Structure 1
């Protein structure tokens, strides 16, 4: 498998060292970003299987803030690479759910173990898909297959799930629902909408259509969304 990895590291020599070790593992499809804005640009225009993020990026925003953005808009698994391991930094980092944590100065073995474990976890997440989800309804718990969900709309700390013939309001944020549905072919197209790609009937003029229903495509999500489409 030709896995694609993004390295976000503001020190070119360290970025080169990481790339060298990944090449040694047989990973050759690698992009490097030296700063936060460059990383966002690459994430918006490419599809990555894994990212290695330096925590202490130069500039106004650090690697943990980048991780939060990745979780919200790009859904790429990531490993932190850092020399900062104080309790405060570690606490902030853990809340982003990284797939690993490499401490500088690192060695080849540490990188290999973290990267291989990350890909193992990614593989488990892809295969451990429940056949149905259960949603609370006035009559109890209703089973719903992911393929029956057309889209999900955010309402503050709640969300409304729209199926082909019904809708349900559930007490979860769109972000938490997104983490569960992305493996089933769902994609975020707007801060308020998560859609099932298999139910799209048309895309036109900045909107995605589900029959007569149209939902806006947010500017921040457009490039990633379009990259997921198989266009002839």
Structure 2
């Protein structure tokens, strides 16, 4: 059986000594350094190193590639080529010797040790793995799910064709990759998922409808029906992980279509509400308001009872003012004529008139986010009203910041807070305002966080990540 002794074939003594030093420091046994292909061939006849580090450009009768061919006629010993050139002709020649790896000079110690470790591991289990792969592949080739076996370091020891087909890459290339690192995992919101955390996830949740992304080659591949268990494979003493999962592209596509449909429906509902608000506002202003003004003008001609006349005019004035207020609350004229920044400035001024201090900051440019002006205005208006009516706040902070294609809105007060657990349980009965806020955030495909504490007040954080048109 081959040992883990490493043979270095390198005609540059400085590089040879450096290689030996790095390997011995990593506790590898190193054979005497040889400088020619002929010496290497003679050495292999009498010895069986576990791996050969072979300089491609050797001087003499044999270069490194020719030496590797001759060595492998004698014994099956894995070779890692050391090369200072990456020209296509050299690489093409080297392919026929089936090298385990190429290390380009100059190389890092980490790169060298990683290649050596992986090569020794792959060669040690090559025969048994090939036999197992043939058996498992014949059984699993028709299964429409990915089947992977990982070692304790989460390196892929076996995988069926499904994952290779999903990632559009030969399965042999993926063998030895670390699942969760070389092949990264993430949630549908692009949050990184470690394989350790995936193991700890509830089995029923994984096996149900949970969808995650497998990220490789700059692309994302959704998978679900995830199953993870421990078992012994390939006659090893330590347990490995068996993982199975299905292609979730079709399901995710249906989910996205359904989500878009729900958003369109919600947008239509909210648009209908705003249109109705605008209609009622116009009716109040143009209809009832004008009628009241006519009544007021005609009343000026009634002089029979001065006290009654004065009282009636006062009542009409109050009615006209209340009508104007209701009309403005339903659809402020500023929303029709001004940009979001101006509307929010006006809203803050209105609330400061109630005695509450408003601190408003944003980096919005003129006309930015105007496509979402009504949604954002109503959210801020609802939050301000809640703070004013329920939290006994003295100060409110409104911050709106846009960075690239993301927007963050925060509304914070210093009031007594809310019991959001209770509100969520009785959402429809007790908090139409909260429903209004969450619906409008959903309509903008955003995410919302509520935090409340009697000592620190209430904060509402909104993240808008998918808005495509900001102006």
Scaled by the length of structure 1, the TM-score of the pair is 0.53
Contact 2:55 2:83 in 1 (8 A): yes
Aligned counterpart, 2:21:
20
> In the superposition, relative to structure 1, how do residues 72 and 108 fare at CA in structure 2: closer, same or farther (>3 Å)?
same
Aligned counterpart, 1:37:
38
CA shift at 1:29, angstroms? Answer: 3.7
What is the alpha-carbon distance in structure 2 between the residues aligned to residue 82 and residue 14 of structure 1?
Answer: 12
Contact 1:2 1:29 in 2 (8 A): no
Aligned counterpart, 1:47:
48
1:101 match: secondary structure: strand
More helix per residue: 1 or 2? Answer: 2
More strand per residue: 1 or 2? Answer: 1
CA shift at 1:69, angstroms? Answer: 0.7
CA shift at 1:45, angstroms? Answer: 1.3
1:32 match: secondary structure: coil
> In the superposition, relative to structure 1, how do residues 2 and 124 fare at CA in structure 2: closer, same or farther (>3 Å)?
closer
Aligned counterpart, 1:115:
116
Backbone CA RMSD of aligned residues: 2.0
Aligned counterpart, 1:78:
79
What is the alpha-carbon distance in structure 2 between the residues aligned to residue 3 and residue 10 of structure 1?
Answer: 22
CA shift at 1:47, angstroms? Answer: 1.3
What is the alpha-carbon distance in structure 2 between the residues aligned to residue 5 and residue 124 of structure 1?
Answer: 18
Contact 1:50 1:77 in 2 (8 A): yes
Contact 2:79 2:100 in 1 (8 A): yes
Q: Deviations over 1:36-67 (max 9, x none)?
A: 12111211111111000000001132000011
Question: Which of the pair has the greater relative contact order for Cα pairs under 8 Å at 6+ separation?
Answer: 1
1:30 match: secondary structure: coil
Unaligned ranges ≥5, structure 1: 134-232
What is the alpha-carbon distance in structure 2 between the residues aligned to residue 73 and residue 106 of structure 1?
Answer: 29
Q: Deviations over 1:106-162 (max 9, x none)?
A: 11011011101101211331432639x9xxxxxxxxxxxxxxxxxxxxxxxxxxxxx
How many residue pairs align between the two structures?
132
Contact 1:2 1:27 in 2 (8 A): no
CA shift at 1:2, angstroms? Answer: 6.2
Alignment map for 1:62-77 (pairs within 5 Å): 62-77=63-78
Aligned counterpart, 2:99:
98
Aligned counterpart, 1:88:
89
What is the alpha-carbon distance in structure 2 between the residues aligned to residue 130 and residue 90 of structure 1?
Answer: 29
Aligned counterpart, 1:218:
none
What is the alpha-carbon distance in structure 1 between the residues aligned to residue 3 and residue 124 of structure 2?
Answer: 14
1:31 match: secondary structure: coil
Aligned counterpart, 2:357:
none
Structure of greater Rg: 2
